[in-house]
A and B are shown apart, each in its own frame.
Chain A
Amino acid sequence: MVIDRGLSAPAVDEVFHALADATRRDMLRTLMTKEHSVSALARRYPMSFAAVHKHVGVLERARLVTKERCGRESLLRASAVGLRDARSALDVLEQVWRERVAQMDQILAENPHE
């Protein structure tokens, strides 16, 4: 499902995918309160650095988190872009279906009997 506007359904699904995991939701909550370096964030979770890094990657792709280079560290911050996407998910879906129904109607008008 792709839509020819700034916001694509795949982007929305990435947000849902990112938020479907309790650890990632917790990371997001943490980053909303305060920015963290990747290693500082990793210290809060009983999992490998690589595993934390992977979760951060999912949050980043969903545009829920931004990463910014700061000296030798990368600083992570929560970003509202992804959440806005999620909130407009149903609006996007409506637009997709409006287009589909218009196309269905057009085919029926061209070929009423098959």
Chain B
Amino acid sequence: MPITRVNKDLDAHTMTVFAEFAAPISRVWALYADPRQLERTWGPPMWPATVVEHDLRSGGRVTYFMTGPEGEKSSGYWNVLEVNAPTRFVIDDGFADDSGQPNLDMPVTRIVFVFSEQPNGGTEMTVTSTFASTDAMQQLLEMGMEEGMREAMGQIDPVLAEAA
């Protein structure tokens, strides 16, 4: 597996994936710069992606939809914030409605991609994802709600058991 490390920072609610590929940096960059290659990497195996618009430049947009096993569609978009080919790009990845318009009720994930050439000719990629509204989750956990929730569930379970 080319993944070397995964760091989860629960406080910052970010996750960083480190991966090494046995390919030169320009080749790895092309996986994102070429929409036909991007759509083969972006969707999970059972949810292949189709890239509709692809403008990987600062201020550009990428739109895509993924098709599920039952034919259901999940649309998304990238707002491209920063591009320095072939070493770095930053996007906000969000959800879109069926016509490709951003769904502003849903939070976006900020994703920073960094590529660096390795002495062996390979490429290291680091991808840092930050959930937009995890502050709320953090705050919630700090308030001790998790504990409260467990207690609440403890009270609910017997009720459910009786009802069953």
Which size class do B's interface residues fall under?
35 or more
| CB of B86 within 8 Å of the partner chain | no
Are A80 and B37 in touch, CB under 8 angstroms? no
In-complex Cβ contact of A16 among B22, B37, B137 (8 A): B137
In-complex Cβ contact of A17 among B15, B107, B109 (8 A): B107
| CB of B6 within 8 Å of the partner chain | yes
| CB of B85 within 8 Å of the partner chain | no
Note all chain B residues with C-beta closer than 8 A to A25.
136, 139-140, 143
| CB of B91 within 8 Å of the partner chain | no
20 contacts between A and B (CB under 8 A): A3-B44, A3-B47, A4-B44, A10-B74, A15-B137, A25-B136, A32-B151, A79-B153, A80-B150, A80-B152, A80-B153, A83-B145, A86-B137, A90-B8, A94-B15, A97-B3, A100-B42, A103-B45, A104-B31, A108-B27
| CB of B60 within 8 Å of the partner chain | no
In-complex Cβ contact of B44 among A14, A99, A112 (8 A): A99
Are B152 and A78 in touch, CB under 8 angstroms? yes
Q: Which residues of B contact A (CB under 8 A)?
A: 1-3, 6, 8, 10, 13, 15, 17, 19, 21-23, 27-28, 30-31, 37, 40-47, 66, 68-69, 74, 76, 93, 95, 105-107, 109, 125, 127, 129, 131-137, 139-140, 143, 145-146, 148-153, 156
